[in-house]
Chain A
Amino acid sequence: MTNGWIDIKNTDMMLIMGGNPAENHPCGFKWAMEAKRNRNAKLIVVDPRYTRTASTSDLFLQIRAGSDIAFLGGVLHYAIENNRVAKEYLANYTNAAFVVKEGFKLPEDGLYSGFDAASQTYDRSSWNYEEGNDAGGAAPSHAATPAAAAPGAPPPLPGMPPKVAYDFTLQHPRCVFQLLKQQYSRYTPEMVERITGIPKDQFLKAADLFTSVRKDGDMKRVATIIYAVGWTQHTFGTQIIRTAAMLQLLLGNIGRAGGGVNALRGHSNIQGATDMAGVFDSLPGYLKVPAPTDVDLATWLKRITPTASKPAPWDSFNYYSNTPKFAVSYLKTFFGDAAKKENDFAFHYMPKVDRNYSWTQLWDNMYRGSVKGMLAFGMNGVAIGPDSQKNIDALKKADFLVVGEIYPDETSEFWKSPGITPEEMKTINTTVYRLPCAGFAEKDGSFTNSARWLQWKNAAVPPPGDCRLDQDIVAQIFLKVRELYQKEGGKFPDPILNLTWPYVDAQHPALADLAKEVNGKALADLTDPKTQVTIKKGQQLPGFAWLKDDGTTSCGNWIYSGSWTEAGNLLARRGTDDPSGLGIYQNWGWSWPANRRVLYNRASCDPSGKPWDATRRQVWWNEDAQLWVGNDVPDFKPDSHPKDHMGPFIMTAEGVGRLFAPLGLFADGPFPEHYEPIESPVENALHPKQSNNPVVKKLKTAADKYATPGDGFNIICTTYRLTEHYHYWTKNNQMNVQLIPEPFVEIPVELAAELGIKGNDKVKVTSARSYYVAKAFVTKRIRPMTIDGKKVYQIGIPIHQGYRGIQEDEGKDARTILNRLTPTVIDPNAFTPEFKGFLVKLEKA
């Protein structure tokens, strides 16, 4: 979330799309209701199904799963056409005025400039800004077009120019604003209707309502966009979210109380998992992992440290220029005294990531036999999917599987999943270790919620019986491996032998020790030259501003620095004072970065430093103090005078929000473009010859099958959670099970009538991968749709059941792991599988 849960109460307008917070985040959803009750805020819900969130909406639109970019692009088009844009914000706080290089081409035919069909990748060098000065009124310059890349081997990307050509009047034909306008001019209400199935009048109603916050040039009102994995889980998921961010930039809603783009995380600590490098291509704090081409520390740092790129009259803080401080402090945390200046702070100990190790790739590698074992903690890999059967078949080939869980789950019992005969079972030689672990209430530690708040929790009860804490299991495995390396040596024992392990009880590291380590400490006496404040060697750091790239600080995750200082555990704070009434709660827990509650909050003020809305004052420029001050911690250089025109988006090299994402930021385009899901009942109405995202690659084993409407797969299927259940856990809890006791398939009344299906009948859903059997839930809440003149049905299936719960699966032979149906294709930027919007057949079972 750019903002936070409580901040939703400050909004005037909500668009909830790709998410269903009433069902999946009921506690947080209270703030949406507060906004309605206390501010008369309006709520628009766009979803393939009429959900319980929709039941509280002022306007509900049923959209075809996977057509979100078309809808949002249509709203962008509407806002521009109807002058519902935040002009001053747009010109000053985004890259709207930046001129893009000649040679860049918009995807009228579905392809941006630079596509190489053989490798299915883009040479992205034309997706760049033009170097220069004020280009307003000047004839377009004729910069040399980049040399065509050799197929399959795009040259290393050039950097962004330090001085970007600009036209502050936004009239230059190649300025970002004009390109944006051109790009979405194709997304007319008629086109939106053809692609999304939302009737034109309904779409216009929603577009008018959402953009009404900028009616007649008003800047006081604020709109928020709230989403979840209904956006993420597509082969263009990242780009859907980008479209939302662009719309919010266009309307001037980012950085403001009640605004922002707000991702609702699916678990209590998913935000924490990503912050702490839960994905293979980042280190804690979103530092990019070293690649084999990073031959030494300097090469790595040069690659991952951006340099400022901006119009000459403007200023850019470019906070990521501090990357070397974060990276070196991280290496010091890992390798302690073994990380010295002379040895590049032990950079050579770091693994270099040479390929994609994302979720579907890991399973694919195991399926192909190159991954031989798995440690599975805190997740149920078989049930999570996609293509559960492929994951089961992959595990059959593994040598070992270690599962740390609180229940016997589908993963640890993959070898007796329904369909496996006693004969086949004898042929499965995977050794499975099932370790009983502690549940969340049995351990202390912190959760980082969607709002980026770190909150400490205490253990409520001790783990029962032989159950152990996850960190104890991991520690003991590590200590054993280290012992083996000490005894037996190995190819490269240094990283293991030199890894710091400074915990009081090595076998049982306290999470408090880890939290302190993550915050970081001084490794020498440090003095701030400005304030003469000194931190003694060994003391906890007050924040990331103290980090150094000379080895005198350690820090496990720079964005968490400041969370456990000499003042103690700030995560455990429970102060309820909120003087501004904006729900900032500065003394409750701690939010990254620097206890800031709303990111980019400088943008809540006009260029002169005055809040756009005086009733929702977050930060402002104090002329007397010559400082940015406020109710929230300013997300800005505190002493940067407004007249210096420093951009409010200090984490980008440009200092401004990116309507156009240059160069290597995205694999599939600097602007989002509508592509069809890999399995779609229709061709892409914008460019039928390029229906799908061109850079999406399908996996190629025998298990990776994809359906087409030609094969009779004509029904769109989407997947979701229910409020009554939590993932694959609560099927073990009778209190939850009684609320929704059985798996079901939600089917439109009209489709059910066509197929002769009545409510509670058993139905069989078949995809190209596998099939699923459950009861029919015949409902009026999903309507038939007309997509580009074709009648299309959508059905929906909740994810929660499997073959190792109670009650729903008598006999333990039910085919109710939903992800047996889902395809293994992934988003090219975030590598998330396309769980939403695949094709199926439906019949009576």
Chain B
Amino acid sequence: MSQATLAIKRISGHAGPAPGEGVERDYQVCKLVDTTTCIGCKACEVACLEWNGYEFTDTVFDNSYQTMPETTWKYWNLIKFNEHENSDGTISLLMRKDQCMHCADPGCLAACPADGAIVQYTNGIVDFQQQNCIGCGYCVSGCPFDIPKFNPATKKMFKCTLCVDRVSEGLEPACIKSCPTGCLHFGTKEDMTDLAEKRATQLRENFGFEKAGVYDPAGVGGTGVIYVLHDATNPEAYGGLPKDPHIPWVVKFWKGPAKWIGNLAMLGGILRVTVHYLRFGPKIVDGSKHENGGQP
């Protein structure tokens, strides 16, 4: 999904600076999901489908209100439901809107070997560029939230774009627009963080949620989607939100030390070939070995 109007900050598998880097300073955009006022109505699920032009999916009832087990390549926004038993024996129905978190330090981008398949715009949106995607699926291993999904028909990866096409035109994402209770907000990261912290404080001080807090994990450099949780000490209860997400060490190693070891190894190979050439000269092929008159 190419968006020429947005400045690119980083590019996957790309050497050197991103074009235009440092020229323009942009706001970091952010979605705020207040799970304490989410009613699980799924308006955001439908709005996401309709804006992005995807058709309905065949689903199966599975002992839950949840539409399907996980997001798919054409279903990017999913409310995860959990009937959670509290320590005092009461029940909570926890509902969390699951989608791409738009990490400041995106593991998918780090893992991606294809030049330009994943970009991070200066406003923080992490976007897949399917025309450059090679369908290797490495981004999956880089994502601690299990978000990128493979379309077997086109052999490309897909995920939530944070409605980059709307945002670049000054509109809020489709999910935000559809939310009836105002549990979804959209704005700058600064404003959203401020709003989220205020709400968490209100929940602690006035509503007895002593562990209420904001989910904006540092392990991925903070996220472009932040949550207010009734209990920030137990994000796993909200449909498996990882407590301390990190880019997997394999990916870090692969794109960090391993890359240099690889580069060194490659360089070493070239060096060896060069030395070999200088010492022994070109390899002479013995034409008599081709029995069919040199025809391959």
Contact = CB atoms under 8 A, between A and B. Distances in A.
Contact of B180 (A30, A735, A742, A760): A30
A664 interface: no
A514 interface: no
Interface stretch (B35-43, B158-166, B262-270): B35-43
Contacts of B207: 36, 40, 58
A558 to B, nearest CB: 34
B65 interface: yes
Contacts of A308: none
Contacts of A734: 55-56
A56 B56 contact: no
Contacts of B64: 777
A775 interface: yes
B168 to A, nearest CB: 27
A340 to B, nearest CB: 53
Interface stretch (B84-92, B149-157, B214-222, B284-292): B84-92
Contacts of B90: 60
Chain A interface category by residue count: 35 or more
Interface residues of B, number: 40
Interface string A351-382: 00000000000000000000000000000000
Contacts of B40: 22, 52, 55, 723
B154 to A, nearest CB: 21
A29 interface: yes
B199 interface: yes
Interface string A731-742: 000110111111
Interface stretch (A99-107, A401-409, A438-446, A778-786): A778-786
Nearest to B75: A738
A726 to B, nearest CB: 12
A53 B39 contact: yes
A735 B50 CA distance: 9
Given A37-B202, A56-B37, A760-B61, A29 B180 contact: yes
Contacts of A54: 93
A779 B83 contact: yes
Contacts of A760: 61-63
B8 interface: no
A744 interface: yes
Contacts of B95: 52, 55
Contacts of A735: 46, 49-50, 56
Given A52-B95, A56-B37, A26 B59 contact: no
Contact of A742 (B46, B60, B83): B60
A438 B43 CA distance: 25
A739 B77 CA distance: 12
A469 B36 CA distance: 43
Contacts of A151: none
A52 B39 contact: yes
A40 B91 contact: no
B41 A22 contact: yes
A37 B91 contact: no
A17 B58 CA distance: 35
Nearest to B55: A734
Contacts of B45: 739
B41 A741 contact: no
B41 A26 contact: yes
A37 B199 contact: yes
Nearest to A58: B207
Interface in B22-45: 36-37, 39-43, 45
A825 interface: no
A741 B39 contact: no
B274 interface: no
B39 A744 contact: no
Contact of B37 (A33, A58, A778): A33
Contacts of B208: 58
Nearest to A54: B93
B61 A33 contact: no
A37 B37 contact: yes
Interface string A24-66: 0011011001101100100000000010111110101000000
Given A26-B41, A734-B56, 19 more contacts: A26-B43, A29-B180, A30-B180, A30-B181, A33-B37, A33-B181, A36-B207, A40-B206, A40-B207, A55-B93, A55-B95, A735-B49, A738-B59, A739-B67, A760-B62, A775-B63, A778-B63, A779-B63, A807-B58
Interface of B: 36-37, 39-43, 45-46, 49-50, 55-65, 67, 83, 85, 90-95, 180-183, 199, 202, 206-208
Interface of A: 22-23, 26-27, 29-30, 33-34, 36-37, 40, 50, 52-56, 58, 60, 722-724, 734-735, 737-742, 744, 759-760, 775-781, 783, 807
18 contacts: A23-B39, A23-B41, A26-B43, A30-B182, A33-B181, A33-B183, A34-B182, A40-B202, A40-B207, A56-B36, A738-B56, A738-B57, A739-B59, A777-B64, A779-B83, A780-B91, A781-B93, A807-B58
- Which 3 A-B pairs rank lowest in CB-CB distance, beginning with the nearest? A759-B63, A22-B39, A742-B61
